[in-house]
Structure 1
Amino acid sequence: MDQYADSARTGMRQGYMTKNRFAVSLLFLMNGFVTGSWAPKIPEFKDRLGIGESALGLLILVFGIGSLVLMPIAGGFIARLGSEKVAKLTAIILSPLLLLLTLVPNVWTAAVGMFLLGGFVGAMDVAMNANAVEVEKSMRRAIMSSCHAYWSLGGLIGAGSGGFLMARMGVLPHAAAVTLLSLAILAVAWPMVLADKPHPTATKEKLSLPTTPLPWLIGLMALFSMVPEGAVLDWGALYLRNELGASIELSGFGFAAFSATMAIMRFAGDHVRDRLGAKSTLRICTMTALVGLILAGMAPNAALAILGFAIAGIGISNMVPIAFSAAGNMPGLQPGIGLAVATTMGYSGMLFAPSLIGFIAEYSGFAVIVTSIPALFVVVLLLSRHASHADHGRGQ
């Protein structure tokens, strides 16, 4: 009887953990959906406010500043309250912000809306990554890569359906639909989100940035893993179009190929990491990304460059999830604090490095940039031994 009782308890425990994993995956899906739904609204947003490209660029910069300001704050609250409470609160606040941006009457209120949208996308990002780390520990297996795959899927759904829905429903009904669907996803996830508890001393500690070098080294891994992603997103199509003579239709396939292989490999990444360990997986992924971007940068034609971007997507897919898992599993540091450092550094690269790349490319051309970016991966390889922290708490 005891054997059957133990088996039943094990089955219940595994089922419960599966619900936790499903819930945090839904949080990633919702965050990606809101972020993706914003992209097709940008042309309408620009025209409605009557602003030019420069003003729009400043507003998008405000979005990035909002993320970088609220991410560390979210990390501090996660250390004190736990990731569950912070993830739920930030998700509630995030849900109607796209609707708010659809209603803003002028540039100044738009700037406030952009700061809030960027801020709560980023704050929720830290919280849901911290919750995914806790689920990894409780399940004793990797789930971070598939969580990021759900974010990519949400972004694809939001961006892919946005223009279609706005053309048929109108801009305001689309924003309302995004809000309602986001709240519906959150309602499904709500009762199943893993209720983690902060360390007893965390509520008494003064919130501050870590003084040990390890969080910053892992943050550097995240930074140098995400700069190439931002570069391909913002400049890949222009590189294919202007320097390799691709047609307008073909130039869009660079980032599409990159995104497709990234999403597919993120769903497979957890199984690879469980089998090989985080350190070996990171090294294989980094080398793959390095080869892909060098191929894209040295390609004589657009087709070969697109193949290079696809290979780079395979590699980059699991570099960031591994860095985030390592950041949330550092000894002697609350997961929220470590993740706040890694996400803030990582997303700063994705948000701000492309503008620097654009400035340099005016003088050097994009081929040189794409070929040179893999030098960042050498630093990731040198720091890759720290990825072993991503395996802590899971059992090997």
Structure 2
Amino acid sequence: MINGFIYANWIARLPRVQEIYHLDNQSLGLVLLFVSMGAISSMPFTGWLIQKSSSRTITLCGAIAFCALVPFIPLLPEVWQVRILFYFVGVSAGLLDVAMNAQAVLVEQKFKKPIMSSFHALFSVGMMLGAGSGALFAKFAISLFGHLLSVVLGCFVLVLFAAHYLIRDQPQESTEEEGAGFRLPSKALLGIGVIAFCGMTGEGAIADWSSNYMENIAHADEALAPLALAAFSLAMTVGRLLGDRVREKLGDKTLLLYSGFISFIGLGIALAFPVPYLIIVGFLIVGFGLATVVPITYSIAGNAPGLPPGVGLSMVTTVGYAGFLFGPPVIGFLADWQNLRIALFFIAVLFALMTFLSFRSKL
């Protein structure tokens, strides 16, 4: 929840970041690229760090670093310094993502039934609250630094509270068969990783560009613009709260197939009818579609036979987060070449690919 809340707060204010640093869409895409580069560079090694330390320790280190770095976003004098900052924001986010999901796998194994989607619902709760918070801070014209600082101070307290309840797993000595935590994905996990790639690229694109799409394409005012992200996050929350029961009933393959189709339809509405309230409805539908994609892929990876949870998760999250690596610059380039509406058709193509891959999978 903390992760989603902080993330949505600064993502909802990206138009303000553009103003501060005088960035066009392509330049903003390149800045966001550094977040993904940081995450991609840390994720392959996080499994190894978890084995040497523990998922609890890495979770706390990632959360504290993430909170500490975000308030500096509006304070730097040069764009190149912002890129470096965003890189380390990505490193901390990558550590946190893998480690906290490794914790979630440990809990899921104790429960002996699917509950990963419920954990991810809390991320979506944080996203929804963060988008609403961003809209309020924008409405009352609070400075971006004051906004982000007040948000992370509250989250530091929550991190300290959560630390007492994490599973105290122990460092593991890797066997020769297990090898190091850094590995290339196996063939089976690669397919799951590509599905995660499509879903996470779409999720990141809507988080990064929904406010811009509302302001620049639909001409919504600054206070209304973040509500598209809030609607998306609300649907993700509801979908993930219901996702575990639906997953037990339908199975992974069928649910992933439906997810891709619903996501495609929702984005199609937002692109075909660039009117603020129809965009909000479209992104709401996309949220329902994408809700269970990442939890399912993470759960499969974390429970892969013969691999510690952190190692399997490192493989799939690295492939999945490659979507965050390529997504921002591709969308930024297409947006400047044509417009943001045309650029988001790229995401619709990925949703179609995700549907096809889910149909062909052997889950």
State TM-score, norm by structure 2: 0.81
Please say if 1:269 is aligned against 2:243. yes
Q: Does 1:190 align with 2:163?
A: yes
Relative to structure 1, the CA distance from residue 106 to residue 278 in structure 2 (aligned partners, 3 Å threshold; closer, same or farther) is same
SS in 2 for 1:248: coil
For residues 177-326 of structure 1, what are the structure 2 equivalents within 5 Å?
177-197=150-170, 199-201=172-174, 205-210=179-184, 212-233=186-207, 246=218, 248=220, 255-294=229-268, 307-326=281-300
* Whole-angstrom distance in 1 between the partners of 2:27 and 2:235: 34
Following superposition, the deviation at residue 105 of structure 1 comes to 4.5
* Distance in 2 of aligned mates of 1:376 and 1:78: 33
* Number of positions where the alignment pairs a residue of Structure 1 with one of Structure 2: 355
Q: CA deviation at 1:44?
A: 5.2
Aligned residue among 23, 29, 44 for 1:52: 23
| Structure 1 gaps, min length 5 | 1-28, 387-396
The residue that corresponds to 1:90 in the other structure is 62
- What amino acid maps onto 1:188 in structure 2? F
Which of 37, 47, 60 is the matching residue for 1:75? 47
Q: Percent identity?
A: 34
- Residue 86 of structure 1: how far off its partner (Å): 0.9
Q: Distance in 2 between matches of 1:267 and 1:317?
A: 9
How far off is 1:269 after superposition? Answer: 1.0
Deviation per CA, 1:118-160: give whole Å up to 9, x if none.
2101220111111111111111122221222211221232333
**Correspondent of 2:362 among 351, 367, 385:** 385
* Distance in 2 between residues matched to 1:284 and 1:31, nearest whole Å: 27
Deviation at 1:369, TM superposition (A): 4.6
Report what 2:301 is aligned to: 327
1:352 to partner: Cα distance: 2.3
Q: In proportion to residue count, which structure has more helix? A: 1
Cα root mean square deviation, aligned: 3.5
C-alpha spacing 1:187/1:202, structure 2 compared with 1 (3 Å): farther
What's the CA shift for 1:384?
Answer: 3.9
Equivalent residue letter for 2:47: G
Partner of 1:10: none
Aligned residue for 2:131? 159
CA distance in 1, matches of 2:320, 2:104: 17
How far is 1:324 from its partner? 0.9
Please show how residues 18-29 of structure 1 align to structure 2 within 5 Å.
Answer: 29=1
The answer to which of 78-87 and 163-172 deviates more is 163-172
| Structure 1 residue 191 displacement after superposition | 1.1
For residue 385 of structure 1, give the secondary structure of its aligned residue in structure 2: coil
Q: Which moved more, 1:96-105 or 1:234-243?
A: 234-243
**8 Å CA contact retained: 1:224, 1:380:** no
Give ranges in structure 2 of 5+ residues lacking alignment.
none
Q: Work out which structure has the larger RCO, using CA pairs closer than 8 Å and 6 or more positions apart in sequence.
A: 2
Q: Deviations for 1:220-259, whole angstroms, at most 9, x for unmatched residues?
A: 110122233344445667778888xx55268876555433
Partner of 1:150: 122
TM-superposition CA deviations, 1:64-88 (whole Å, max 9, x none)? 2111111222232123333112111
* In structure 1, C-alpha distance between the alignment counterparts of 2:174 and 2:5, rounded to whole Å: 36
2:29 touches 2:331 (CA, 8 Å); kept in 1?
no
Partner SS for 1:283: helix
Give the structure-1-normalised TM-score: 0.75
- Preserved CA contact (<8 Å) 2:253 2:358: no
1-structure distance, mates of 2:149, 2:232? 31
Q: In structure 2, how many angstroms separate the alpha carbons of the residues matched to 1:63 and 1:139? A: 34
Q: 2: distance between equivalents of 1:308 and 1:40?
A: 18
User: Are 1:294 and 1:374, in contact at CA under 8 Å, matched by a contact in 2?
Assistant: no
In the alignment, is the contact (CA less than 8 A) between 1:32 and 1:153 conserved in 2?
yes
Once the two structures are superposed, residues 81-133 of structure 1 have per-residue CA deviations (whole angstroms, 9 ceiling, x without a partner) of: 33112111211222211234455444444333221112101220111111111
